Amino acid sequence: MRGTPYRLDVRPRLPERIARLAELAGNLWYSWHRATRTLFAQLDQALWTEINHSPKTLLHNIAQRRLEEVARDAGFVAAYDAALAAYDAYHAPRAPDARFAGFDAAALVETIEHIDAHRLSSVERAVFGSFRPATVVITTPNSEYNPIHGAPAGSFRHPDHRFEWPRAKFRDWARGVAGRNGYRAAFGDIGEPDPDLGSPTQMAVLSRAV
């Protein structure tokens, strides 16, 4: 009698000396910091190109032997330390930049899903608490629509997405942001809607009440 086959997914482990590569890979900051993107490319240029420059996918698929090699490479470690120093400086607590205050409108277009959910409160404080534009437009994928795209259950549309929300969860979150900060929330659809699953992209328009 044959047993049930199971898939065993073995992932490499980061050596302690370069363990914060996982943190760099998990933050959208890498996408606009050239030195950090170059750091990931140095791990395995061919694989980096093959997986379309996704650092999380790279770290899940790179050879363990290669990680151990770069952890002992003085040049790579120096570049890693420099990237971490820039990352830590960028994310250090600071006062809100007054240059961004007082605008009529701001747009977070397909942005929030690239931010770890536990960090959204920081985004809320900056955008709605400090900058307070008159109108904020937020768009994000509607996870209910994913089956129409052929996406397997539980998967995301992009490897860098931290989450994808159904309509009810997105609206609850947006209403909460609006209520806590003196805004009114209205909602709309982007794209051809399915009668049951809604549209591919959902939108909230938050207007300052005072």
pLDDT value of residue 101: 79
Higher-confidence residue of 21 and 122: namely 21
What's the pLDDT band for 119 if we cut at 50, 70, 90? confident
* Cα–Cα distance list, 62 to 26, 29, 37, 42, 66 (Å): 16, 21, 16, 12, 7
Question: How far is it, in rounded angstroms, from Cα 152 to Cα 113?
Answer: 18
pLDDT value of residue 111: 94
What's the pLDDT band for 5 if we cut at 50, 70, 90? low
Which secondary structure element, helix H or strand E, spans residue 167, and what is its range? helix 167-181
What's the pLDDT band for 97 if we cut at 50, 70, 90? confident
What's the pLDDT band for 8 if we cut at 50, 70, 90? low
> What does the pLDDT average to over 129-146?
95
Of 57-61, 122-126, 195-199, the least confident = 122-126
User: Domain locations in the chain?
Assistant: 16-91, 98-208
Q: Give the pLDDT confidence of 162-203 residue by residue, as tens digits.
A: 999 999 999 999 999 999 999 999 999 999 999 999 999 999
pLDDT value of residue 122: 86
Q: Which CATH superfamily is domain 98-208 in?
A: Vaccinia Virus protein VP39 (3.40.50.150)
pLDDT value of residue 124: 93
What's the pLDDT band for 28 if we cut at 50, 70, 90? confident
- Give residue 13's region: left, alpha or beta (phi > 0; psi -120 to 50): beta
